[in-house]
Amino acid sequence: MSMELVLWTLLAGVVSALATGVGALGALFIPQKRLDLRAFAGAAAAGMMVAASLFSLVGEGLEMEAPVAGLQVVAGLLGGAAFFWWVERRFGEVEEVSRLERRSWMVFVAMFIHSIPEGVALGVGFATGEWMVGALMAVVIAVHNIPEGLAISLPIRAEGGSLGRCVGFSILSSVPQPVLAVPALLGFVYVQALLPVGLGFAAGAMLYLSFVELVPTALKESDPQTAAWGLMTGLTAMLLMTMGLNALLG
């Protein structure tokens, strides 16, 4: 494995974390009452994650020449969803409030927790040796982080927080991505037989997040039509990006 691959993986994690800070800037321009815009953005992020999970991570895992790769992918899918479920149940309730009000703190903790499997997904994407898969994971997670930064920042702004605090807490919520991306890369590069499990794990966690958090939140903040079109927009955008990367790198 080349040092170049490690550096690209680390860079992808850093850029994805910074993208969350970019999303925080939207709190300056989107009124607190425009929940429909936030719902559409969240549903679009869910669509992108569904497309990336099924058509890239799962697809790549099924094509690998590892023993019983299909069963490994299935096991990984269930494991990723179970892990995310366990983490949410274990750490989802926060009693202590630090520098943020409880509502803002809960949003921050939720985003921090679900950055964990996203960091693993970045590393697993590059561990495949297919630059397109790694680049696709980097793009989808970075784009997905933009509405996350907005979701974190809106309640902070409503409580009178500064733009600097919005950006700072938004980026901090994505710290697990650059921190875990390289260890995940190294682990699955040197244990290639388990790579289909890793791909399935990342996909399962992202699918669980989409259907348990992003889509229900979009439905709660807007109508089903807005959520559905947001989901379809994100899904089709991800497919178009996949085709574009295939043409560019293939």
Q: Residue 191: what residue type? A: V
The pLDDT value given to residue 123: 87
Dihedral over Cα of 34, 37, 40, 44: its sign: negative
Q: At what angle do helices 195-209 and 102-127 cross, to 10 degrees?
A: 150
Report domain extents, the chain: 3-27+34-245
Look at residues 23, 13, 57, 53 and name the one whose alpha carbon lies nearest to residue 177.
Answer: 13
How far CA 188 is from CA of 126, 136, 182, in Å, comes to 10, 18, 10
Q: Is the dihedral of CA 59, 63, 66, 69 positive or negative?
A: positive
* Helix, coil or strand: residue 164: helix
Q: What are phi and psi of 152, to 5 degrees?
A: -70, -40
Task: Show the tokens assigned to 21.
Answer: 């800070």
Q: What average pLDDT does the structure give for the chain?
A: 80
What are the average pLDDT values for consecutive 10-residue runs of the chain, which has 250 residues?
83 91 80 73 80 82 80 91 79 48 62 76 82 80 79 72 86 90 84 80 84 85 91 87 69
| 165 within 8 A of 105, measured Cβ to Cβ | no
In the chain, the percentage of residues whose pLDDT exceeds 90 is: 11
Contact 24, 213 (CB under 8 A): no
Residue with token string 């990984």:
76
pTM: 0.67
